[in-house]
Structure 1
Amino acid sequence: MNRRKKGAGFWQGYLFLLPSLIIFGVFLFYPFVKTIYLSLFKTNKMGQAKLFVGFGNYAELLTSKSFYNSLFVTVEFVAIVVIGSMLLGLLGAMLCNKAFPGIRVFSTAYALPMAIASSSAAMIFKIMLDPTIGIVNKLLKLNINWIQDPKYALICVAVLTAWLNSGINFLYFSAGLSNIDESIYERAAVDGANSAQMFFRLTLPGLGPILFYTIVVNIIQAFQSFGQVKILTQGGPGESTNLIVYSIYRDAFFNYRFGSAAAQSVVLFIIIMILTLIMFRIEKKGVSYS
């Protein structure tokens, strides 16, 4: 009887999980397996697998200058976005960490980017950067076509993305700062520590777990950026903003090379997985937060 009860309880637990497993299976596991499957085939314009080529799509990627360019551009973009968004979020959290009149207004303003759709922000940003009517050129008294110049296009998209991501980073860092005991700052001040010393020796170590989590999340988000590129530059000028996600989109829905697009998706997944594992390995190996 006891065994039967234990068996019934075991299966009952899986029954409760069944709705979630079905949703994950339909919207996550099946597309993932399908992507790996398509990466091994040449497809028709409807995305149906027609000719098995094994790792032919991957071999083609390894000889493609366009693919290597998209990887390089993506790494550069991710570096700018992660550093920029974390600095903006941390700065906002530090400024709002003290109580003063109007603090809620400032907190709302710093967190606002997370509530704005990337497509809407990109449209506004595009108008601001317009070479003739844009406010940026008028304020700086310049005549630069920011989005169409290969020197500035990637930076413009990265700055917009960093600002969009800074809102959620602000919330993360605000939560982390609220968990740091204020008394340690008082003791440090009595010992003669200045603001810089308190920031690097008290604040940053206190934010250690939040910093690690934020870096991982921001890297993943930056690698998956798409809407901003689609609206602002469409991968141009040339291929200066052809991020790997946009390259996947263009290969699949413009060139109808679904097999190549699937192979790029698998490569992107592997890159993100390796970076995440490296980050967790570094964290496990002895990063001390105390």
Structure 2
Amino acid sequence: MLYTIKRTIEGILYIFPSFLLFSVFVFYPMVRTGYLSFYMTDFQGTPTTYIGLEHFLYLLEDRNFKESLKATFLFVLYTVPTTVVISFGLALLANEKLRGIQIFRTIFSSTLGMSVAASSVIWMFMYNPAVGIINRLILAFGWREYQWLLNPDTALAAVAIATVWMNIGFSFLILLGGLQNIDITLYESAKVLGLSRMYQLWRITIPLLSPTLFFIVTVSLIHAFQTFGQIDILTKGGPMNTTTVLVYSIYREAFINYNFGFASAQAVILFLIVLIVTFLQFVLVERKVHYQ
């Protein structure tokens, strides 16, 4: 009995530092955000008047919030599948046993070492209508130049392309690690049987890589819903709110308009959306994952 109590106390002491950090930086902010969503606040974020669900009811009718929802889901649709497909293709190429392939592995993963701010500035110059390389290439092919970040029809896609480039490095490294953990004898046996490379891809590579793919898709979805830095640097939510995703809308309401209660209500909605999407991922997709 004393031994069990001692082991329990030891376990609590081991996890206490982590629990303390999570309490200060995760649990308390979550509870505080939920609390503020039911109140009107002053310019310092102090609750002043209890209004219940009025913030949430107003969100259902708010045109700007609906536009933010649309921009958010379009951004996720543009970035997540594209990132996963490109990263998977690059990982397949980099997994080949070729001379000098390490150089390409370094190049493919190089975006992992760049901050969002630095990457966004690079793409801002590339999209520049006067000196940007993208318009220079377009003009060289005889097409007309575009105001990529100032045109409502292209701004969100332009930010999505930059985001895909930023995220490829991380996804590529994880998928390459998963590919290198697959038993090579399976491919040798497939070659002996005369199976095609495409058959090996669908019957060996993808099933055995499915846990890694599931992880990448889940993390990429959550990360896409939380995108902020490149939106703030490249477009500031414009033009005409076409790139105002939910996180940027929350930031604008809280730190520009000082409407902390309304921003907290949007944060609660975003949390619920991410929770539901992640839950559906585990319920509908994980059952197809092949764990060894």
TM-score (norm. length: structure 2): 0.94
Q: Deviations 1:144-178 (Å, cap 9, x if unpaired)?
A: 11000111100111111111111111111111111
Q: Deviations 1:119-151 (Å, cap 9, x if unpaired)?
A: 111111001111111110001213111000111
Partner of residue 174 from structure 1, selected from 163, 173, 176: 176
Structure 1 residues 128-147: aligned runs within 5 Å: 128-141=126-139, 142-147=144-149
CA contact (8 A) 1:39 1:260 kept: yes
Offset of residue 285 of structure 1? 3.8
Most deviating of 31-40 and 80-89:
80-89
SS in 1 for 2:243: coil
Distance in 1, matches of 2:239 and 2:145, equals 18
Distance in 1, matches of 2:269 and 2:291, equals 33
State the match for 2:279 in structure 1. 277
Partner of residue 25 from structure 1, selected from 17, 20, 23: 23
Distance in 1, matches of 2:106 and 2:201, equals 24
State the match for 2:247 in structure 1. 245
Structure 1 residues 65-144: aligned runs within 5 Å: 65-141=63-139, 142-144=144-146
Distance in 2, matches of 1:100 and 1:285, equals 35
CA contact (8 A) 1:154 1:240 kept: yes
SS in 2 for 1:45: coil
Q: 1:8 to 1:109 in 2, by over 3 A?
A: same
Offset of residue 102 of structure 1? 1.8
SS in 1 for 2:250: helix
Offset of residue 182 of structure 1? 2.6
Q: Which amino acid aligns with 2:53?
A: F
SS in 2 for 1:207: helix
Offset of residue 260 of structure 1? 0.9
SS in 1 for 2:95: coil
Distance in 2, matches of 1:188 and 1:96, equals 20
Q: Which amino acid aligns with 2:253?
A: D
Q: Which amino acid aligns with 2:200?
A: M
Q: Which amino acid aligns with 1:92?
A: L
Q: Which amino acid aligns with 1:83?
A: P
SS in 1 for 2:40: strand
What is the CA RMSD across the aligned residues, in angstroms?
Answer: 1.5
Q: Which amino acid aligns with 1:236?
A: G
Q: Percent identity?
A: 38
Unpaired segments of 5 or more residues in structure 1? Answer: none
Partner of residue 205 from structure 2, selected from 203, 206, 209: 203
CA contact (8 A) 2:237 2:245 kept: yes
Most deviating of 195-204 and 212-221:
195-204
CA contact (8 A) 2:214 2:289 kept: no
Q: Which amino acid aligns with 1:69?
A: E
SS in 1 for 2:146: coil
How many residues are aligned here? Answer: 288
SS in 1 for 2:49: strand
CA contact (8 A) 1:43 1:49 kept: yes
Question: Is structure 2 residue 183 aligned with structure 1 residue 185?
Answer: no
Distance in 1, matches of 2:78 and 2:199, equals 26
Offset of residue 194 of structure 1? 2.8
